[in-house]
Amino acid sequence: MIRFAGDSGDGMQLTGDRFTSETAVFGNDLATLPDFPAEIRAPAGSLPGVSGFQVHFADHDILTPGDQPNVLVAMNPAALKVNLGDLAKGGTVIVNTDAFSDRNLQKAGYATSPLDDGSLSDFHVHAVSLSSMTIEALKEVDGITSREAERSKNFFALGLMSWLYNRPIEGTLGFIETKFGKRPEIAEANTRAFKAGWNYGETSEDFAVSYEIAPAKLEPGRYRQISGNSALTYGLIAASKLSGLPLFLGAYPITPASDVLEQLANMKHFGVRTFQAEDEIAASGAALGAAFGGSLGVTTSAGPGIVLKSETVGLAVTLELPLIVVDVQRAGPSTGMPTKPEQADLLMVMFGRNSESPVPVVAASTPAGCFDAAIEAARIAIKYRTPVFLLSDAYLANGSEPWLIPDVSALPDISTEFATSPKDGDVFLPYKRDAETLARPWAIPGTPGLEHRIGGLEKEDKTGNISYDPENHDLMVRLRAAKVAGIAADIPELEVDDPDGANTLVLGWGSTYGAIGAAARRVRASGRKVATAHLHYLNPFPRNTGEVVRSYEKVLMPEINLGQLKMLIRAEFLVDAVGYNKVRGRPFRAAELADAITALVDS
Amino acid sequence: MIRFAGDSGDGMQLTGDRFTSETAVFGNDLATLPDFPAEIRAPAGSLPGVSGFQVHFADHDILTPGDQPNVLVAMNPAALKVNLGDLAKGGTVIVNTDAFSDRNLQKAGYATSPLDDGSLSDFHVHAVSLSSMTIEALKEVDGITSREAERSKNFFALGLMSWLYNRPIEGTLGFIETKFGKRPEIAEANTRAFKAGWNYGETSEDFAVSYEIAPAKLEPGRYRQISGNSALTYGLIAASKLSGLPLFLGAYPITPASDVLEQLANMKHFGVRTFQAEDEIAASGAALGAAFGGSLGVTTSAGPGIVLKSETVGLAVTLELPLIVVDVQRAGPSTGMPTKPEQADLLMVMFGRNSESPVPVVAASTPAGCFDAAIEAARIAIKYRTPVFLLSDAYLANGSEPWLIPDVSALPDISTEFATSPKDGDVFLPYKRDAETLARPWAIPGTPGLEHRIGGLEKEDKTGNISYDPENHDLMVRLRAAKVAGIAADIPELEVDDPDGANTLVLGWGSTYGAIGAAARRVRASGRKVATAHLHYLNPFPRNTGEVVRSYEKVLMPEINLGQLKMLIRAEFLVDAVGYNKVRGRPFRAAELADAITALVDS
Amino acid sequence: MSEGGNGNGLVQLTAKDFKSDQEVRWCPGCGDYAILNVLQGFMPELGLTRERIVFVSGIGCAARLPYYMQTYGMHSIHGRAPAIATGLAVSRPDLSVWVVTGDGDALSIGGNHLIHSLRRNVNLKILLFNNKIYGLTKGQYSPTSELGKVTKSTPMGSLDYPFNPLSIAIGAEASFVARAIDTDKKGLTEVLGAAARHRGSAFVEILQNCNIYNDGAFDFVREEKGNRIYLESGAPIRFGAEGEKGVVQDVDGSARVVDLGEGGEDGLLVHDAGQREPSLAFALSRITFETDGAVPLGVFRSVERPVYDDLMSEQLETARERSGEGDLETLLHSGDTWTVES
Amino acid sequence: MSEGGNGNGLVQLTAKDFKSDQEVRWCPGCGDYAILNVLQGFMPELGLTRERIVFVSGIGCAARLPYYMQTYGMHSIHGRAPAIATGLAVSRPDLSVWVVTGDGDALSIGGNHLIHSLRRNVNLKILLFNNKIYGLTKGQYSPTSELGKVTKSTPMGSLDYPFNPLSIAIGAEASFVARAIDTDKKGLTEVLGAAARHRGSAFVEILQNCNIYNDGAFDFVREEKGNRIYLESGAPIRFGAEGEKGVVQDVDGSARVVDLGEGGEDGLLVHDAGQREPSLAFALSRITFETDGAVPLGVFRSVERPVYDDLMSEQLETARERSGEGDLETLLHSGDTWTVES
Ligand SMILES: Cc1ncc(C[n+]2csc(CCOP(=O)(O)OP(=O)(O)O)c2C)c(N)n1
Ligand SMILES: Cc1ncc(C[n+]2csc(CCOP(=O)(O)OP(=O)(O)O)c2C)c(N)n1
Ligand code: SF4
Ligand code: SF4
Ligand SMILES: [Mg+2]
Ligand SMILES: [Mg+2]
């Protein structure tokens, strides 16, 4: 649901209308709520002069124009002031920064600029110089003044929103042609502004889809709004506190992972060290170096950067040091579609390294869930001395939802003990394992008597010395595998939601959680039976996974890829799971999923 | 089978004895053939003065000391001259270069040094400065002259051979202690020389296991001996000739792939360009750039380097340009054991890239088979405009076997046509596909009228323009997958060797071919029935693969990994294939495989 | 006329011929527009038909440029353009290959490929659009950002001492090194021309304004023309609104800006881009706004050195002369062979 | 005494204390032995206990060194040691972190990490064993091999113009740059001492003989001592068996070797490693055996500049002063919150 708001002279109704038409053409159901000021033309910049237009559109039946818009386009401070209260928490605000002059702020009754004073911290704010970019874009249009040019900024805004929601643009271009045909320079100006807005959206990588589905009923407690990337950041900070290990982040900017780096860079009072490296290889290398030194080493990226970290992760596997590797997945292959979500890096993180190189994989399923997933990834990494992949995606990263703030004292203790100086006469064995976890000692530099060397060559069991012994190699390969496989005993069982005793199971992972849940509700509402389960651990699987999948006649696996988890499940459990796969760079619609489930249930 | 040969004074018998003892301790069956000169002490360096000691050892019953040694250690020119004739073609010669003085050459009757005149080109020659390295290693031993030091060179040689064959060394160390106990400086010297030889083997990366099993009966025709890396080199040259495309190799040295670069660097008269890049990323990038320009782009490496090429391969997938990526696999993870073979990069080459990024995979099964595999990889890459992985391993690379030299005129035509300038008015569509192969046009710079831009962002179907359209992305993801899957129609069916109508199938891939064949012979000889099949294409599988694996009750998959192909087969065909997996950095023994097959057949 | 091409007859093209049908999608006001215009205007000077020209880029705002050129082009992966372009240029000496890159693309992730292509002297024209920021990813600091720079990823200021792109290029044995300003059409065109004429790697830093994330980073020389030191080979280095300043060399070999006194041009450093020894070019590269309040522009260094591509072609020829054109049959039958009778 | 440590009391260690129990496995006669010996002999000078010292290496013959040091150590992956060591040094300022690397490891695959760690001035001591060849992989040419070098991978001679390790380091803003010879115990020890005392990145090129694949590559200065130009700050640069030669600076800023005439030391260049401007050090780096028949050794450049690790620690302190030690509870409840009643 979007609300356009601006000064009466800003052309908001026209903008809203056009967006509505585009949306109708696109095939969405929709409802609109125009909202003009009482005066025909109130004083420019004043609160009463604000004009708004709300469009609610969705992929399912819509009954109302909606109560709380999720996106507010505010052309000036007054428009922001008037409309902000309605905006859903965690919603998106796009403001025209050029209109935030002292004078306009005053007119709107702001003492300080809301853009700077932190009062918008609950929202995603995109500060865009709409006016000046419009003027700049129209520089070469003959016959219009820069004042006139500025008027086209609503078309810039429309272009930007059209890009954001992937609206078809031919209608609007035709409309401009027709409507302003008599004044070709205006038609030209509006067309250019419209396209410049569209292009800006595409170029700046500043926009991405937002998360839509929030849980239906909320448990009692204290809440806040949180996005996936913020929850992930908080989770990492929490892991640092809970483990007592200083956090070291090695990162190289990349959409949609950059703001984890940016947010952690603001957490220096937590003792967090952020290192913006020269590339992803160095980023992961530095994190591993810090881990060798006893830090909680973390490295964050998206698919095109994760692929460059594989070599380092392979080293971490054989060094058996903790390392958290966060992959905020986006659409690929290669550069792909940087702002769009996808779930197609699973097999890469599982297998993308030379030789047998097992790594645990944890996946977040909701924006707020990124918090727990981060702590869990850290727990496993620390306890088992292993790199761990943590999967999020662009949808979770930028989406947000209300979050029941956890009680800090109830969070798990994930602290560990470093190896200590040996008693006289004892020899230190860097690859001697804990009998239960198979983890080797974490012996950090600075500890007298534990001086030792580790490296990427195969190591002799226990001593860690270089060894080319054939049987030793086989043993080490199996020990590394067994250590990771053994984590299954240390994670919760797979939970199944099966209220009616269904014979069809929908098994998902990652950000499809919301859509699968909503789809199941629909299917059940139609009188059918369906069970759902969601995997938060992809390697190893929870210990009851085989039991669960084998206990259903039919298993449907919706994934925003061509069936990656499906392959793993089929191979491991030999069940004939079928996939529902759409790789469109956007989340599933509950309706389409419901159709797919229904078809399978009825089959 | 090894023969040590040197001057009578060189201590060859002692050396041979020691090696025999080590070997016996190791548990091999063996037979020896000492061979002294008639004279007690013939003139040093002369032909009659040569003393030899042959050891035949193997993992199966041995009936004779063997006819043709596979390895000859020649301490001087005379020893080389006397023994070379016996050596099997493609065998290994280790020579003490220090003894190849003009005088010694003369004494042995050599006009030119066989090390330089090409007369050893059929053998693997390791030129080692045995004497001087021994002297150097003993520099700090008090009480012995450099002349005396030089005498320890047989222990250097023994150390080197012991390393090469992974012999246990405690026995020899103890033997030296006992035997030379009364002259501690000599004991010290021999111990040091022995260890220096061992260390040299380990450090120089110049040695690797050799291929043992040759086909039993040879078809009529002209033969030569060939190693896997040479066959691969020749195959690439042949592919260049057969396609009419100039070969461009981008490579960065790495064991055991370096000599493909080194051999191709000698092929400049074939128009081959070899580019030793700054790293593996640049190596693959340059090969891709050359492919854009119309060359046959090739890049070669081993696992730790292949992992760095993933990003480029992902780009090649979306650019849809031909690229051959050769992975000569070695034991890992990480740096692992550089000279040792393994088959554990399969899942990496299948999945080691972000997002859905399908790449065909071809695997060689014998040293000579690398020739055909290279041509086939090129054929697929060129025809389908796709990167292709070609898998070899350290065992194939360095091993050699007799090769029925193919008739050049019978080799396949793999030429292609570049896109040509469009007719007037036609618009060039860089992503319009061939209806049958789904390949897009290969439009190389220099062609007027085809100017176009390609890149890593998602492309609109047909035009190739940047597109963020959701349905287009889904379409493109599926088109790329369908193109690769469609290759199944263009490759031979999986052949099954099942003389007796067995109910157990042994399914293998890669360099286990010889061992599986030998094992099956043994099992059949014991009166049991077993079928074998070997996959030369790992993506896509031959079209009858499902049919084949489903038609057996039991499927055994021996792999030098923890079950990588097994996972793919189970996932795709839902058959309960079981693995036989040993990851020891060395080939399977036929005997152990036969045991495993027998156990399954009898179960 | 570029030596990159074979100049097959007269080609009469104009800037318009080099505009592709793709809409240009940078932020309004971005300095990249100016560079694109100059580049399209310059292209006809190459004297090559369009199909003989290739633009290869990495990732970043700058790296979008190939889409807008009606030539062959590849928008590749972050930092790898020099490597990819090397393969293309080396295997296709008939093409004129241009690399377009940003300060992050070239000096951060792509630093190694850049310095290696420079030392090899591959026949590439490398245009680095330096806006001292990561534009495409929304404003993190880059390897050319000044120490203490406050950006999204460095809220308390960056800690890394920046690279001087020209110093590192010279340290990497570059045979051609130059600098220009996005909006300085004349200066940029001249530099492009010199780069095109140079056979071998030509490295050009273009100061580019990112008006969204780092506006005004180069105002001191983009706007204040008095701070531009145009280098001209053979002439004493003199600049300023009235030519009232110059560059001298200190005893320690470093160069610095002085006010022209009575002596006029006496004692001023005389520029020589063709000097084999790179020490002078290096010293000039150290003159920056921070050290001297002014910035040298134009060609710092341009020396001839064997070109990688040419050397490779020569080896192929020599090999063919020595051994004749490679014959597959002969190759396969080389070494010892034997016959098994049927 | 190194400033890398906190010098906790007197530590009396000897070379022997720094020998690990692993057998040294280089080829007999390899120059690496000499370096290892000098290094082990030098270690006690650091005045640190062994657990405070870490050696990080990449891959190559040189990179095996950490196994032989009785300190902490990591034999990592090819070319990445500077990156890994950066994370370690930055997060553990109490350690003395040394990087051991080869010419291939540091300048080929690892070039980018090297130059970035130098510009950042991370507190690392980087020892580059330059044998002008890839030893471990059996003798392919390296980025420091001379043009035309015939090796396994270049049977007709290499085509790439080599890097000058010191020039590239200086171009990359290195704050400390030095050179020594494997077998020159005194010179090497002095340089190691200077590197250890320098806070920040210290880059040391060590000329190392690979007697198996590139024997004698440095004989002209390893064997012929008259060709060694020992640099000493504050002194005119003079060398030769009888001190009969010296180094002067040309008008263009480049340096070159001359025979001392009547004038004696007059006019000779006076070395100053502490000079802020890197032009002098750069000019000296261009004096090579090929250009001048002699090679400068010792410390070329050593200037103080803020150290990345220190700056980062300071930001953490400042942040804590400003906002207090971070509190998780407070963080989670920051921003707007609301309560849902039961
Ligand atoms: C492997 C990889 N890492 C990171 C990114 C994200 N990324 C794209 S462009 C860019 C930096 C752009 O900066 P610059 O090269 O200066 O170009 P500009 O946008 O400023 O023109 C980054 C970090 C990516 N696309 N690929
Ligand atoms: C990613 C990767 N690529 C290639 C190799 C193979 N390799 C190991 S060391 C080396 C070069 C060694 O040369 P240098 O750094 O000069 O060390 P040296 O052996 O001469 O001391 C190469 C290419 C590897 N181990 N890993
Ligand atoms: S972000 Fe900066 S560099 Fe990128 S297009 Fe916009 S103004 Fe230009
Ligand atoms: S190959 Fe060369 S560098 Fe390596 S250990 Fe042997 S002599 Fe030393
Ligand atoms: Mg930039
Ligand atoms: Mg080297």
B14-70 pLDDT, tens digit each: 888 788 777 666 655 555 566 655 444 456 788 877 877 777 666 544 334 445 678
pLDDT (0 to 100) of residue C335: 78
- Under DSSP, the state recorded for C335 is S
Confidence of residue A26 (pLDDT cuts 50, 70, 90): low
Q: How far apart are CA A193 and CA A181, in angstroms?
A: 16
- Does A268 have pLDDT greater than 70? yes
Q: What is the mean pLDDT of chain C?
A: 94
| Chain A residues whose beta carbon lies within 8 Å of the beta carbon of residue B308 | 308, 311
Ligand index nearest the alpha carbon of residue D33? 4
pLDDT (0 to 100) of residue B34: 61
pLDDT tens per residue, range C212-234: 999 999 999 999 999 999 999 99
The size of the A-C interface in CB pairs under 8 A is 84
Residues in CB range of A513: below 8 A, 6 or more apart: A365, A366, A369, A534
Neighbouring residues of the ion ligand 6, judged by CB less than 5 Å: D 102-103, 131
pLDDT tens per residue, range B195-253: 888 888 777 666 654 444 444 467 889 988 889 999 999 999 999 999 999 999 999 99
CA of A458 to the centre of ligand 4 (A): 21
Lowest mean pLDDT among A27-36, B97-106, C77-86: A27-36
- Does C5 have pLDDT greater than 60? no
Whether B404 has its CB under 8 Å from any CB of chain A: the answer is no
Q: How far apart are CA A381 and CA A242, in angstroms?
A: 13
pLDDT (0 to 100) of residue A24: 62
Whether the bond into D236 is cis, omega within 30 of 0: no
- CA-C211 nearest atom, ligand 3: 7
Most B-contacting residue of A354, A473, A474 (CB-CB within 10 A), to test interface: A354
- Does A65 have pLDDT greater than 60? no
Confidence of residue B548 (pLDDT cuts 50, 70, 90): very high
Whether A224 has its CB under 8 Å from any CB of chain D: the answer is yes
pLDDT (0 to 100) of residue C342: 73
Percent of chain A with pLDDT over 70: 92
Neighbours of D, requiring at least 3 CB pairs below 8 Å, are A, B, C
Half-sphere exposure of C48 (CA within 13 A, CB side): 29
Q: What angle do CA B105, B110, B115 make, to 5 degrees?
A: 75
pLDDT (0 to 100) of residue A213: 41
Most C-contacting residue of B68, B218, B292 (CB-CB within 10 A), to test interface: B292
- Does D186 have pLDDT greater than 60? yes
- Does A588 have pLDDT greater than 60? yes
Contact in structure between A404 and A414 (CB atoms under 8 Å): no
CA of A322 to the centre of ligand 1 (A): 28
**Higher-scoring residue by pLDDT: B169, B525:** B525
pLDDT tens per residue, range D41-89: 999 999 999 999 999 999 999 999 999 999 999 999 999 999 999 999 9
Tokens representing A260 are: 């984890």
For B562, the closest chain A residue by CA position comes to A356
In 3D, which of C9, B262, B296 has the Cα closest to residue D156?
Answer: B262
Rg (CA), chain D: 23
Helix H or strand E segment including D169: helix D165-171
pLDDT (0 to 100) of residue B589: 86
**Distance to chain C for B195, nearest Cα, Å:** 36
Ligand 3 environment, Cβ below 6 A? A 203; C 26-27, 30, 32, 61, 131, 135, 210-213
Q: Determine the average pLDDT of the residues in C128-139.
A: 96
Q: In chain B, helix, strand, coil percent, each to 5? A: 40, 20, 40
Tokens representing B547 are: 């049919």
Lowest mean pLDDT among C162-166, D264-268, D335-339: D335-339
pTM for the structure as a whole: 0.87
The size of the B-C interface in CB pairs under 8 A is 204
pLDDT (0 to 100) of residue B26: 61
pLDDT tens per residue, range A534-557: 999 999 999 999 999 999 999 999
| Chain B residues whose beta carbon lies within 8 Å of the beta carbon of residue A28 | none
Confidence of residue D11 (pLDDT cuts 50, 70, 90): low
Asked if A446 lies within 8 A of D336 by C-beta distance, the reply is: no
pLDDT (0 to 100) of residue B88: 77
Confidence of residue B144 (pLDDT cuts 50, 70, 90): confident
Q: How far apart are CA B77 and CA C189, in angstroms?
A: 68
Asked if B317 lies within 8 A of A336 by C-beta distance, the reply is: no
**Distance to chain C for B409, nearest Cα, Å:** 9
Asked if B315 lies within 8 A of C76 by C-beta distance, the reply is: yes
pLDDT tens per residue, range A208-241: 544 444 444 678 899 888 899 999 999 999 999 9
pLDDT tens per residue, range A289-344: 999 999 999 999 999 999 999 999 999 999 999 999 999 999 999 999 999 999 99
Q: Of B329, B332, B356, which is closest to A333 when you measure between CB atoms?
A: B356
Contact in structure between B364 and B327 (CB atoms under 8 Å): no
**Higher-scoring residue by pLDDT: A98, A37:** A98
- Does C183 have pLDDT greater than 70? yes
Mutate to test the pocket of ligand 3, among C25, C59, C61 (most ligand atoms within 8 A of CB): C61
| Chain D residues whose beta carbon lies within 8 Å of the beta carbon of residue A271 | 316, 320, 325-326
Most C-contacting residue of A262, A307, A337 (CB-CB within 10 A), to test interface: A262
Helix H or strand E segment including C120: helix C111-120
Lowest mean pLDDT among A169-183, B362-376, B570-584: A169-183
Residues in CB range of D336: below 8 A, 6 or more apart: A89, A121, A122, A224, A225
- CA-B304 nearest atom, ligand 2: 1
Q: Is the CB of D102 under 6 A from ligand 2?
A: yes
Q: How far apart are CA D140 and CA D137, in angstroms?
A: 7
Bridge partners, A33 (sequence order)? A54
pLDDT (0 to 100) of residue B537: 98
- Does A184 have pLDDT greater than 90? no
Q: What is the mean pLDDT of chain B?
A: 90
Whether A471 has its CB under 8 Å from any CB of chain D: the answer is no
| Chain B residues whose beta carbon lies within 8 Å of the beta carbon of residue C67 | 453, 455, 466
- Does D4 have pLDDT greater than 50? no
Q: Determine the average pLDDT of the residues in D217-240.
A: 97
Whether A97 has its CB under 8 Å from any CB of chain C: the answer is no
Lowest mean pLDDT among A49-63, B482-496, C157-171, C212-226: A49-63
**B contact residues 325-384, partner A, Cβ 8 Å cutoff:** 329, 331-337, 340, 342, 344-345, 347-348, 350-357
Mutate to test the pocket of ligand 3, among C59, C141, C212 (most ligand atoms within 8 A of CB): C212
pLDDT (0 to 100) of residue C7: 44
pLDDT (0 to 100) of residue B580: 98
- Does B85 have pLDDT greater than 90? no
- Does C88 have pLDDT greater than 80? yes
pLDDT tens per residue, range D286-334: 999 999 999 999 999 999 999 999 999 999 999 999 999 999 999 999 8
- Does B399 have pLDDT greater than 90? no
Percent of chain C with pLDDT over 70: 96
- Does B442 have pLDDT greater than 80? yes
CA of C215 to the centre of ligand 5 (A): 12
Cβ neighbour number for residue B112 with a 10 Å cutoff: 10
**Higher-scoring residue by pLDDT: B78, B554:** B554
Q: How far apart are CA B405 and CA B401, in angstroms?
A: 12
- Three-state DSSP class for residue D193: helix
Asked if C119 lies within 8 A of D162 by C-beta distance, the reply is: yes
Bridge partners, A533 (sequence order)? A496, A507
pLDDT (0 to 100) of residue D7: 45
Mutate to test the pocket of ligand 2, among B202, B205, B252 (most ligand atoms within 8 A of CB): B252
Q: How far apart are CA D309 and CA D256, in angstroms?
A: 37
Q: Determine the average pLDDT of the residues in A88-110.
A: 87
pLDDT tens per residue, range A430-488: 999 999 999 999 999 999 999 999 999 999 999 999 999 999 999 999 999 999 999 99
Ligand index nearest the alpha carbon of residue D105? 2
Helices (H), B486-561: 513-525, 545-550
**Higher-scoring residue by pLDDT: A425, A486:** A486
Asked if C20 lies within 8 A of B453 by C-beta distance, the reply is: yes
Q: Of C253, C280, C318, which is closest to D280 when you measure between CB atoms?
A: C253
Q: What is the mean pLDDT of chain D?
A: 94
- CA-D134 nearest atom, ligand 2: 13
Ligand 1 environment, Cβ below 6 A? A 252-254, 280, 304-305, 308, 335; C 59-62, 78, 102-105, 129, 131, 133-137, 142
For C324, the closest chain B residue by CA position comes to B269
pLDDT tens per residue, range B111-132: 888 888 878 878 888 888 899 8
pLDDT tens per residue, range D110-158: 999 999 999 999 999 999 999 999 999 999 999 999 999 999 999 999 9
